[in-house]
Amino acid sequence: MSRKPSIAIVGGGFGGVGAATMLRRQGYEDVVVFEKGERVGGVWHHNTYPGAACDIPSHLYEFSFAPNSWSRRYAPQAEIQRYVEGVARRFGVLGKVRTGTEVKAAAWNEERGCWRIETSVGAHEADLLLTACGQLSVPKVPPIDGLESFAGPAFHTAEWRHDVDVAGRRVAVIGTGCSAIQVVPAIQPLAAQIDLYQRSPGWTFPKMDHEYSPRARALFKRFPILHRLDRAAIYAGQELGTAALTSQGWLRPFARAVGRRQINSAIADPELRRKLTPTDEIGCKRIMLTDDWYPALNQPNVELVAERIEAVTADGIRDATGAERPAEVIVLATGFASHDFVAPMEIAGRGGRTLAAEWGEVPRAYLGLTVPGFPNLFLLYGPNTNGGTGSVVNTLECGIGHVLAALDEMESRGAERIEVRREAAERFDRELRTALKGTVWQTGCTNWYVDEDGNDPSNWPWLWGTYRRRTQRLAPGAYDLVH
φ/ψ (deg, to 5) at 171: -115, 130
Report in angstroms how near the CB of residue 68 gets to ligand NAP at its nearest.
16
**Which is closer to ligand NAP, CB of 106 or CB of 174?**
174
Report in angstroms how near the CB of residue 31 gets to ligand NAP at its nearest.
28
Report in angstroms how near the CB of residue 243 gets to ligand NAP at its nearest.
19
**Which is closer to ligand NAP, CB of 117 or CB of 333?**
333
Report in angstroms how near the CB of residue 393 gets to ligand NAP at its nearest.
11
**3-class DSSP state of 288:** strand
φ/ψ (deg, to 5) at 173: -110, 125
In whole angstroms, what is the distance from residue 483 CA to residue 481 CA? 7
φ/ψ (deg, to 5) at 245: -80, -25
**Which is closer to ligand NAP, CB of 120 or CB of 446?**
446
**Which is closer to ligand NAP, CB of 101 or CB of 179?**
179
In whole angstroms, what is the distance from residue 331 CA to residue 329 CA? 7
- Residues 376-405 as b/e (b if ≥16 CB within 10 A, e otherwise) read bbbbbbbbbbbbbbbbbbbbbbbbbebbbe
Report in angstroms how near the CB of residue 117 gets to ligand NAP at its nearest.
28
CA torsion, points 355, 356, 360, 364, in degrees to nearest 10?
50
In whole angstroms, what is the distance from residue 86 CA to residue 429 CA? 37
Report in angstroms how near the CB of residue 43 gets to ligand NAP at its nearest.
8
Order across the sheet with 324-326: list the strands.
Answer: 309-313, 316-319, 324-326
Q: How far is CA 420 from the centre of its chain?
A: 25
In whole angstroms, what is the distance from residue 478 CA to residue 178 CA? 37
**Which is closer to ligand NAP, CB of 2 or CB of 279?**
279
Report in angstroms how near the CB of residue 112 gets to ligand NAP at its nearest.
39
**Which is closer to ligand NAP, CB of 99 or CB of 277?**
277
**Which is closer to ligand NAP, CB of 78 or CB of 218?**
78
Q: Which helix H or strand E contains 197, and what residues bound it? A: strand 193-197
Report in angstroms how near the CB of residue 49 gets to ligand NAP at its nearest.
9
**Which is closer to ligand NAP, CB of 203 or CB of 462?**
203
**Which is closer to ligand NAP, CB of 126 or CB of 174?**
174
272: left (phi over 0), alpha (psi -120 to 50) or beta: alpha
**Which is closer to ligand NAP, CB of 59 or CB of 96?**
59
**Which is closer to ligand NAP, CB of 109 or CB of 149?**
149
Q: Helix H segments across 26-76?
A: 43-46
Report in angstroms how near the CB of residue 289 gets to ligand NAP at its nearest.
8
Report in angstroms how near the CB of residue 247 gets to ligand NAP at its nearest.
21
Helices 224-245, 214-222: inter-axial angle, 10-degree rounding: 100
Count the residues in the chain.
483
Distances (CA, A) of 262 to 267, 282, 389, 407: 8, 13, 19, 49
The CB-nearest residue to ligand NAP is 177
Q: Which residues bind ligand NAP (CB under 6 A)?
A: 53-55, 136, 142, 144, 174-180, 182, 199-200, 285-286, 309, 333-336, 446, 448
* Cβ proximity of 474 and 405 under 8 Å: yes
Report in angstroms how near the CB of residue 334 gets to ligand NAP at its nearest.
4
**Which is closer to ligand NAP, CB of 44 or CB of 359?**
44
**3-class DSSP state of 309:** strand
Query: How is 75-88 classified by DSSP, letter by letter?
Result: -BHHHHHHHHHHHH
Report in angstroms how near the CB of residue 392 gets to ligand NAP at its nearest.
8
- Residues 134-163 as b/e (b if ≥16 CB within 10 A, e otherwise) read bbbbbbbeeebeebeebebebbbbbebeee
